Structure 1
Amino acid sequence: MSSSANISPRGTPYQIIIIYFLSLFFSSVSSSSDVELQILLKFKASLTKSNTNVFDSWTSNAPLCDFTGILCNSNQSVLQINLQKQSLTGFLQFDALCELSSLEKLDLGLNHMYGVISEHLNNCTKLKYLDLGGNIFSGSVPDFSSLAGLMFLNLNNSGFSGVFPWRSLEKLVDLRFLSVGDNSFEVSQFPVEVLKLNKLYWLYLTNCSIQGSIPSGIGNLTELENLELSDNNLSGDIPVGITKLNKLWQLELYDNAFTGMFPFGFGNLTNLQFFDASNNELEGDLSELKTLTKLISLQLFENKLSGEVPYEFGDFKYLVNLSLYTNKFTGVLPQKLGSWAEFDFIDVSENYFTGPIPPEMCKKGTMKELLILQNEFTGDIPVNYSNCLSMTRFRVSNNSLSGNVPSGIWGLPELSFIDLAMNQFGGPITSDIGNARSLAQLHLESNKFSGELPLEISKASLLSLIDLSFNQFSGEIPSSIGELEHLNSLYLQENKFSGSIPMSIGSCAHLNNINMAKNSILGEIPKSLGSLSSLNSLNLSSNKLSGVIPESLSSLKLSLLDLSSNQLTGKIPQSLSIEAYNGSFAGNPGLCSPYIHYFRQCSSISGKPDKIPTIIACFLGGTILLLVSLGCFLFMKKRAKDHGRSLKSYSWDVKSFSILSFSEEEIMNSIKEDNLIGKGGSGNVYKVVLDNGKELAVKHIWKSSYTTHNLDRKPHCRSSSLLMKRSGNFSEFDAEVATLSSIRHVNVVKLFCSITSDDSSLLVYEYMPNGSLWDRLHTCKKIELDWESRYEIAVGAAKGLEYLHHGCDPPVTHRDVKSSNILLDEFMKPRIADFGLAKIIQPPNGMDSTHVIPGTHGYIAPEYGHTYRVNEKSDVYSFGVVLMELVTGKRPMEPEYGDDKNIVHWVWSRLQKGDDLVNMVDSSIPEYLREDASKVLKLGVLCTASLPILRPSMKSLVQRLVDAAPLKTPVYKLISVKSSKIEGTEDGIEKLKTYTL
């Protein structure tokens, strides 16, 4: 019998029905897969510019569930799209992707996708995971109300702007991860809607344009493990509610305006590992933090915190980063600090710490940076640090440390920066320095170091700066110094060096500054110095140099040359016989010159001066001087007016500060309208062209309004501020002028002499042919200054102020730093000028001199208005304004800032609104340099802090400017999205933040 005979008569219809429905099902599945395949291929086509092979498997012949980055469910429908960090570039079309009916996860983070995210996003109703962070979208964020199942939302750094739809978050009751920071949203209050999302474990609202205070209801989010609210304009106290978040392992509150103390109970956050509340206005001590034993990184710099660091910090077994710089901390650091974990860095600079340096921070051999400058630390450098092979920066300057430096410190192989300046260290530099293969800067100035420089210093081949000034070093300068091919600056002044200047120094092709003044150096000036084409400043004064001045120096373009007070002989080269070098050769009686009339004429017989012409010249010179004096007297008696003011016919007193090549008659004859080049509140400035063609600048200051009533009052600033002290006592005025005249710095304008009478004074300066920085930035003389030029001007001017603040004894406070007082020579090199002398000579009539606010509107530090106290930090504020001018190209006062508002308010208010510093950079600066320029603008912001204690010193600022040097080629910033942060600081100014999921 056949098998068909066994089939039930009713079996055939059932089979037919089953086959029918199966065919319908598979037909439906096939139809659905075809639709989704076309959607994905269309998505691929929109991203044709992408430089990736991720789409190689995305072909029409392949099953869509085999596509790279695609995960399907059991029905072969697209469940997930995972294409994070695939260099995708193109226009994202959400309307198509949301037709994938089973789509639960869409991860397109860290690509280069653009376009507007339309309301079609609401069609993705099954989405649980959405990551669009790290892209370049535009427009507003759409409403999320329909995405009720969403658990993960990341829009961080994705280009969105406008108003964020905070209210739509209320329906996302299952949301656990929310990251929407680093976007240019419109300013809003803290979104209370977020406080209802009590399942959140991750909340990232950094740089999100939020202002106001944090509601105490933040304590409702008890599942939070990560809370980041930095770079906003949040203010008020840190709310007590935060103390309820005991699952937090990371809390980031930096760059806001929080005030007050850490709330009581903050110590409950015992799981906290990363805490950063830097750059706020927090006060009080750290007692609430002493129970946070799991801390790995603690960043509290730039606040107003005080008190001692709790001794418990010494027992923190996981702590690797500690940054407390620029606060008011006192006392001794815990001596076990950093000894337990693989410690990375410490920066406690600019506080009032005392006692010894904790000795075991490099116990695990991983420490990279020790930054404790500007404190009151005492004792030796612990010998343990000799073995810290990982150390890259060792900065302990401006303390009261003493003893010999452990020999191993000099030769640490990764150390790039040694800064021991302004302490009481003694002893030698040991031969270990030959092992310092990474050392770039060596700062030892103002100590008691002694002994000879080891020959091995030439093996530290990366050295670019050596500053050994103001010590007791002796012996010869190593002949091998020419092997330092990267050497840029060599400061050896005020030591006991002897021997000759090595010929090999001419091999240091990058040398820019040489200062060997006030030593006992012998021999001739090496001809090889003339080969240093980059040399800008050469000071060999007050030594025992002999022989002739090499003709090779004529090829150099020096802004400062000082060979005075030596034993040089012979003829001064013609090309060096210029006005700019007046005084450069004084104190060398053996020199002669046919071009500088106040030197003896050179004899035609080699090496033997002719005495008869010299006697005749002296006689004629005396006669001429007598006639000139008589002429000046008659001239001043006859002269009636100068711009509507009369010059009284009293005698003139000339105080010269170098050998002069001009007479007062030449100066007087030039004080006329035709030569007027500038006007100020206290007098006029004239350009004087001497008979020999040399150019000078003369400031004419009238004294008649400087009344006895004003002058009898006690000054409100110390003498180093160049203030007049008593009425009518012009000898004290001369003493202050002499103080200014003694300054010899490449970035400070040179004062040749003062010419005074009873009713006015003339100050004679070197002439700066390129005018002032103000002229070049803001007036009809404006020129397009490239960023490199602006940067060099900023650094040069900062070095000039640094010298006044830290290189003069007592320090000099300028009191009127502004761009019009930064003059530019023929090479656009800056000079600080106008030291406020005229300001105190002629205050407003009837005003109490103790309440004269010195300075210029737009540059005046805020403390002037309520304390009338002036110090170096006031200069720092004014210089911060100059930095803002240089970077933005804007004036200190502009109508766009608003009534009585200045550039400082404009910059700070934009920052508080979430704007990026890069967006404030002058549009004429190329885009690839704007990141570099923004670093300098950031320093301008730092300098203009409202509280003087929060501003850096000029010495610190110079180093920060040097570290912000522009790169020569474009660098494009790559952003990785992870919420952990590596903090590496130079004096604590730089932060590297990396954001990850």
Structure 2
Amino acid sequence: MAAEIRGRSFLFLCLASVVASQTQPNNDQKQILLRIKQEWGGEPALDSWNDDTSTTYCHWPGVGCAADGSVVNITLSDQTWTRITRPIPASLCDLKNLTHLDLSYQRIHTRFPTSLYNCFSLQSLDLKQNGFVGAIPADIHRLSPRLTLLDLSGNNFTGDIPPNIGRLTAIQTLWLHANLFRGSFPAEIGNLSRLQQLGLAYNSFAPMRIPSEFGKLTKLTFLWMTKANLQGEIPASFAQLTGLTQLDLSENSLTGAIPAGIWGLPNLQYLYLYSNNLSGSIVIDGTIGALGLVEIDLSMNRLTGSIPDDFGKLKKLSLLYLYYNRLSGEIPASIGKLPSLSTLRLFSNGLAGVLPPELGKNSPLVDIEVDDNMISGELPDGLCDRGAFNSIVVFNNTLTGRIPPSLGKCSKLNNFQIHNNRFSGELPDGIWSAINLTTVMVSNNTLSGTLPEKLPWNLTRLEIENNRFTGSIPSSADRLQVLLGSNNMFSGELPSSLAGLLSLQTLDMGGNMITGRIPEDISLLKSLNELDLRHNRLTGEIPASIGLLPVLTSLDLSVNHLSGPIPWEMGNLKLNYLNLSYNQLTGKIPATLPSRAYDQSFVSNPGLCASNSYVNVSTCRSESGGLDRGLRNLFFVLGAVVLLVVLAFAIYARRDHKKKRNGGDLAAWELTSFQSLDITESGILRGIREENVVGGGGAGKVFKIDLGDRGVVAVKKIWNCRNLGSRLEKQFQSEVQILGSIRHKNIIKLLCCLSGADSKFLVNILLDSEFNARVADFGLARMLVKPGEPDTVSVIAGSFGYMAPECGYSTRLNEKVDVYSFGVVLLELTTGREANNDGEQCNLAEWAWRQLEEGAELTDAIDTAIRDSPYMDDMTTVFKLGFLCTETLPSRRPSMKEVLQILLRCHRPGGVSYSPIAEQDVAAPLLRANTGSRRQKPSHGGGGDHDDNIMACDV
């Protein structure tokens, strides 16, 4: 009995000991957590961490425990919480069993927390998407030797990545992308033999090669180095990366050929090498080991040769991008047999032959883009066989024949671009039944047939000009914004009600056989910006309601049979272009239509007259039937007086000529100053000598004048040779007052304006002490045109080489004139030539286009002084943008908003988190420089390219 009692007592003592051993650590863990909260300054995210006994600390938000109650996991990355902003407390490492620390997506803006070196059990450290600053410590290897994951991406770390990071030998995942590193990354990373995932993308490293030591990372599955300023060739040692499933080296400056060993990697699934300077042919050496390839993107390089037939062995291939290269030959027929192919983009190469005849029959094909090549033959008839097809873009080729009827079965079709080919026949009826159809561009073929009365509800763009379509104009299209149907054979009347076309912004139906009147309810089209009905058979009067279109800027009703007066309401319109010529209009032109803007807008309307001066329009007679004899005599006397005054003035001017050459009477000059400076009229006028001329433009010469200790200034003389009217004088003074008040680093610092009887001088600091260039002219010279004078080419102010072609033949000018001038500046920057092309017979824009049309390499046009720069590919991109901006047709030029988008994306933000498959930046149709059809004579309408994303670049 005593023995039994002793045994029970011993068991009780053992149980008490176990309970005590568990309770004590648990109490310690809770106290540590409360201390962490206190040291963290009571961050709102930790409000639930308190001494309340109703819940155990293991159930506190963000806390994870092991079975014995020890804290092993702190995860505070939930973005729905209030984010932590204060430094990481050192007491975190008092949690001796802490293996996982996740503080991602917070707002901690300190240097790297070296206190974490004391967290000896740490296996995973995730600090991504914070605001950490400074350099990664050189002794980073002092982190836990058990660390397998280190994520510092999406922060503001700078400097170099330290070599000692290669001593964290247990690391399997290392994310350092999207920081502000401007130094180097070490070859010692190649010592991380267990590394499986490495992200160095979106960092502005100093230009450097990929270390060959990276070839030792045989367990690496994902290598992400997009936009890391890489140069040189891809190391041949990459052939040893047998575990690699995704390789992304896109948007760098890599050169040379693609190593053949890349194609032998047995596990490779995703290969992204786009936007580099890779050259040579794609060589597979007859065998291809990477049979599991799912996506290949080699676009925007300089690859030559043909597309390997071995690509047809890639049975898992879903996406193939080879656009913007220099590939030639035919598209292998084997590509049409790939069972998984969904997207094929081969545009802007030199490919010939026919499209693979089995394309779409064997795979769930979604879209193809093969535009801007030399492809002939007919479209394959199996594109829609699998039911997923939604986009075909094949414009600018030499395709022929009829559109396959099977395309009418593409229920998911949304993008149909086949313009500038040689297609004939009718469009399949089923195309108009595709409920998701948004874009139809079939211009410049020989297509025929009619349009449905009601277009698909989702259609926004319909371009069918220069074909043989007949019938009537559709009366209903819910979302249609652009309808370009000129030069067809449409007949009948315009829809009696335009209520079904309320979204229209551009309507161009010129060159057809449309009859009847312009509907009165045209005022319903509140978004209409351009209306072109020229060369038709319209009759009746111009409806007064046309003057109620709030955003109309271009109106062409010429060459019709319109009659009656011009509605005075049209004076309310803000038109850049107006053409009512060759009609039967009568009566007086509204005085609110200025003659300078619409000088030739009314020719060949014999019944029109005007109080202003228009070409071929007579002056309206007064109601009295003419001037009486007394009034004529009065005019005769006044004319004689004027003649005497002119003679007296000539004598005076001759006597005063020498005086004026030296500045004349200083009292005749008015100095308006915008800065606190000591500049006098005489100081400026003494420097106006030919030996001081440093340049000139369309408005006058520019003189360099040394004012002694007051510095050197540039003075632009604006010629006028007459006094301005009081209104224009006030306007000019107002403009220079505004210009003088502007403070911007790239806008001129206007010091003063000196006004005289026949000229004006603007004093422009054009280049400051830091050699920052300044924008100057601002079009002030245009104000100097005499009121009532015709706005002819001779009085359009502008410098030769910068002026758009339409300035020479039309008054139909808009903001695309400025786009042209900006394009010339881009060409100047990249070629080193002057806008007037150094005195050559053609200006710089024409010279650049000739280089392209004659097959010259774009790189040969780049300024030799910068041709060896590592940013050569980026400079050719800006060169291409200059091409686009200097298109002969204004409608083909991008808007300044689009130009700005391209240049802004040249500095695409780097603060992005990684994804296992890097998101693609689909390329740049806007920057495609077409060598065949872009330099056309001016015409109405215009075609367009893809509406894809815009190319990213480093400028």
Residues 578-629 of structure 1 deviation map (CA, whole Å, 9 limit, x = unaligned) = 2211111111111112333864343567xxx96999xx99xx99xx9xx99x
- Please list every run of 5 or more consecutive structure 1 residues that lacks an aligned counterpart in the other structure: 645-672, 697-768, 784-789, 794-813, 838-848, 882-892, 894-898, 913-939
Q: 2:495 aligns with which of 446, 470, 478?
A: 478
3-state SS of paired residue (1:306): coil
Q: Does 1:529 align with 2:546?
A: yes
Output the CA distance in 1 between the equivalents of 2:807 and 2:359. Answer: 45
Deviation (angstroms), 1:532? 1.0
Q: Does 1:157 align with 2:154?
A: yes
Q: Does 1:562 align with 2:497?
A: no
Q: Does 1:169 align with 2:187?
A: no
Residues 906-935 of structure 1 deviation map (CA, whole Å, 9 limit, x = unaligned) = 9x57x97xxxxxxxxxxxxxxxxxxxxxxx
3-state SS of paired residue (1:214): coil
Output the CA distance in 1 between the equivalents of 2:101 and 2:284. Answer: 43
Aligned length: 768
User: Is the 1:157–1:182 Cα contact (8 Å) retained in structure 2?
Assistant: no
User: Is the 2:405–2:428 Cα contact (8 Å) retained in structure 1?
Assistant: yes
TM-score, normalised via structure 1 length: 0.66
User: Is the 2:576–2:814 Cα contact (8 Å) retained in structure 1?
Assistant: no
User: Is the 2:360–2:386 Cα contact (8 Å) retained in structure 1?
Assistant: no
Distance 1:7 1:299, change over 3 A: same
Matches within 5 A, 1:724-739: none
Distance 1:262 1:119, change over 3 A: farther
TM-score, normalised via structure 2 length: 0.68
Identify the residue that residue 289 of structure 2 maps to in structure 1.
268
Q: Does 1:869 align with 2:863?
A: no
Q: Does 1:79 align with 2:16?
A: no
Output the CA distance in 1 between the equivalents of 2:548 and 2:881. Answer: 48
Deviation (angstroms), 1:240? 2.7
Residues 267-319 of structure 1 deviation map (CA, whole Å, 9 limit, x = unaligned) = 32110101212222222221142322211112222222222211111111111
User: Is the 1:511–1:535 Cα contact (8 Å) retained in structure 2?
Assistant: yes
User: Is the 1:326–1:950 Cα contact (8 Å) retained in structure 2?
Assistant: no
Deviates more, 1:481-490 or 1:523-532: 481-490
Deviation (angstroms), 1:690? 11
Which amino acid in 1 is paired with 2:71? V
Distance 1:228 1:836, change over 3 A: closer
Q: 2:215 aligns with which of 185, 188, 195?
A: 195
3-state SS of paired residue (1:90): coil
Distance 1:497 1:421, change over 3 A: same
Which amino acid in 2 is paired with 1:602? C
Matches within 5 A, 1:789-868: 816-817=801-802, 829=815, 831=817
Output the CA distance in 1 between the equivalents of 2:134 and 2:357. Answer: 54
Residues 119-163 of structure 1 deviation map (CA, whole Å, 9 limit, x = unaligned) = 344444444444444444333334346454444444443443321
User: Is the 2:697–2:800 Cα contact (8 Å) retained in structure 1?
Assistant: no
Identify the residue that residue 779 of structure 1 maps to in structure 2.
748
Residues 246-286 of structure 1 deviation map (CA, whole Å, 9 limit, x = unaligned) = 10111122222222222324732110101212222222221
Identify the residue that residue 284 of structure 1 maps to in structure 2.
305
Which amino acid in 2 is paired with 1:443? E
Output the CA distance in 2 between the equivalents of 1:36 and 1:273. Answer: 50
Q: 1:343 aligns with which of 365, 372, 375?
A: 365
Which amino acid in 2 is paired with 1:209? N
Identify the residue that residue 920 of structure 1 maps to in structure 2.
none
Residues 6-62 of structure 1 deviation map (CA, whole Å, 9 limit, x = unaligned) = 445xx69966984686466335523542355236635876753x6xxx975787643
Q: Does 1:310 align with 2:332?
A: yes
Output the CA distance in 1 between the equivalents of 2:813 and 2:352. Answer: 46
3-state SS of paired residue (2:399): strand
Output the CA distance in 1 between the equivalents of 2:118 and 2:888. Answer: 58
3-state SS of paired residue (2:375): strand
Distance 1:337 1:67, change over 3 A: farther
User: Is the 2:528–2:549 Cα contact (8 Å) retained in structure 1?
Assistant: yes
Identify the residue that residue 979 of structure 1 maps to in structure 2.
916
User: Is the 2:257–2:280 Cα contact (8 Å) retained in structure 1?
Assistant: yes
Q: 2:247 aligns with which of 203, 227, 239?
A: 227
Residues 616-659 of structure 1 deviation map (CA, whole Å, 9 limit, x = unaligned) = 99xx99xx9xx99xx9xxx9xx9999999xxxxxxxxxxxxxxx
Residues 490-548 of structure 1 deviation map (CA, whole Å, 9 limit, x = unaligned) = 11222222222111212111211111112221111111111012111111111111111
Deviation (angstroms), 1:101? 3.0
Deviates more, 1:305-314 or 1:25-34: 25-34
Identify the residue that residue 141 of structure 1 maps to in structure 2.
136
Which amino acid in 1 is paired with 2:620? C
Deviates more, 1:475-484 or 1:16-25: 16-25
Deviation (angstroms), 1:873? 11
Output the CA distance in 2 between the equivalents of 1:316 and 1:73. Answer: 51
Identify the residue that residue 670 of structure 2 maps to in structure 1.
none
Which amino acid in 2 is paired with 1:944? F
User: Is the 1:161–1:183 Cα contact (8 Å) retained in structure 2?
Assistant: no
Output the CA distance in 2 between the equivalents of 1:202 and 1:821. Answer: 53
Residues 739-768 of structure 1 deviation map (CA, whole Å, 9 limit, x = unaligned) = xxxxxxxxxxxxxxxxxxxxxxxxxxxxxx
Distance 1:471 1:484, change over 3 A: same
Which amino acid in 2 is paired with 1:26? Q
Output the CA distance in 2 between the equivalents of 1:290 and 1:440. Answer: 37
User: Is the 2:884–2:892 Cα contact (8 Å) retained in structure 1?
Assistant: no
Which amino acid in 2 is paired with 1:64? Y
Output the CA distance in 1 between the equivalents of 2:854 and 2:585. Answer: 39
Work out the percentage of aligned pairs sharing the same amino acid: 27
- Please list every run of 5 or more consecutive structure 2 residues that lacks an aligned counterpart in the other structure: 172-192, 662-689, 691-695, 703-715, 730-736, 751-763, 766-774, 779-798, 825-835, 903-907, 926-945
Matches within 5 A, 1:265-414: 265=285, 267-287=288-308, 288-414=310-436
Deviation (angstroms), 1:571? 0.9
Distance 1:686 1:777, change over 3 A: farther
Q: Does 1:418 align with 2:440?
A: yes
Output the CA distance in 1 between the equivalents of 2:74 and 2:724. Answer: 83
User: Is the 1:186–1:209 Cα contact (8 Å) retained in structure 2?
Assistant: yes
Distance 1:130 1:469, change over 3 A: farther
3-state SS of paired residue (2:313): coil
Distance 1:472 1:601, change over 3 A: same
Q: Does 1:600 align with 2:597?
A: no
Q: 1:90 aligns with which of 84, 89, 106?
A: 84
Matches within 5 A, 1:117-128: 117-128=112-123
Residues 415-459 of structure 1 deviation map (CA, whole Å, 9 limit, x = unaligned) = 22211122221222223xx2511111111122222222133xxx2
Deviation (angstroms), 1:467? 0.9
3-state SS of paired residue (1:26): helix
Which amino acid in 2 is paired with 1:497? I
Output the CA distance in 1 between the equivalents of 2:353 and 2:556. Answer: 42
Distance 1:986 1:204, change over 3 A: closer
Output the CA distance in 2 between the equivalents of 1:231 and 1:147. Answer: 35
User: Is the 1:166–1:194 Cα contact (8 Å) retained in structure 2?
Assistant: no
Q: 1:181 aligns with which of 192, 197, 201?
A: 201
User: Is the 2:238–2:261 Cα contact (8 Å) retained in structure 1?
Assistant: yes
Q: CA RMSD in A?
A: 5.4
Output the CA distance in 2 between the equivalents of 1:437 and 1:816. Answer: 46
Output the CA distance in 1 between the equivalents of 2:283 and 2:859. Answer: 32
Matches within 5 A, 1:534-545: 534-545=551-562
Distance 1:985 1:236, change over 3 A: closer
Deviation (angstroms), 1:974? 9.9
Output the CA distance in 1 between the equivalents of 2:39 and 2:62. Answer: 13
Identify the residue that residue 271 of structure 2 maps to in structure 1.
251
Q: Does 1:588 align with 2:605?
A: yes
Output the CA distance in 2 between the equivalents of 1:600 and 1:463. Answer: 41
Q: 1:944 aligns with which of 846, 871, 879?
A: 879
Distance 1:543 1:435, change over 3 A: closer
